[in-house]
């Protein structure tokens, strides 16, 4: 049996846990999920709430590596 496809909630939970571990005050409430799976296996989601927040770029990069394709 294959692993279930991760959801937007999985990404949000992962990032918020990372921010809490690092003592950052940022918390993510939602992400934008594209309505299709990207055939190039690039991330099909974005976190506009964190746009231009330099201190979380590595965390977002890690989340995109772990969760490249998610469901809403």
State mean pLDDT over 53-64: 96
Do residues 35 and 16 touch, judged by C-beta distance below 8 A? no
Instruction: List the domain boundaries for the chain.
Output: 9-66
More confident residue, 2 or 35: 35
State mean pLDDT over 13-20: 98
State mean pLDDT over 4-23: 96
Count of other CB atoms within 10 angstroms of residue 6: 18
Asked whether residue 1 carries a pLDDT value surpassing 60, the answer given is no
CA pair distance 14, 63, nearest whole angstrom: 7
Asked whether residue 2 carries a pLDDT value surpassing 80, the answer given is no
Confidence at 30, pLDDT banded by 50, 70, 90: very high
CA pair distance 33, 12, nearest whole angstrom: 12
CA pair distance 7, 70, nearest whole angstrom: 5
CA pair distance 16, 66, nearest whole angstrom: 14
């Amino acid at each position: 049996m294959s692993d279930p496809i991760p959801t937007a909630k999985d990404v949000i939970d992962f990032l918020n846990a990372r921010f809490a571990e690092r003592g950052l005050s940022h918390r993510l409430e939602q992400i934008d999920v594209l309505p299709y799976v990207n055939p190039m296996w690039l991330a099909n989601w974005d976190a506009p709430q964190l746009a231009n927040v330099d201190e979380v770029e590595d965390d977002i990069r890690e989340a995109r590596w772990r969760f490249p394709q998610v469901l809403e």
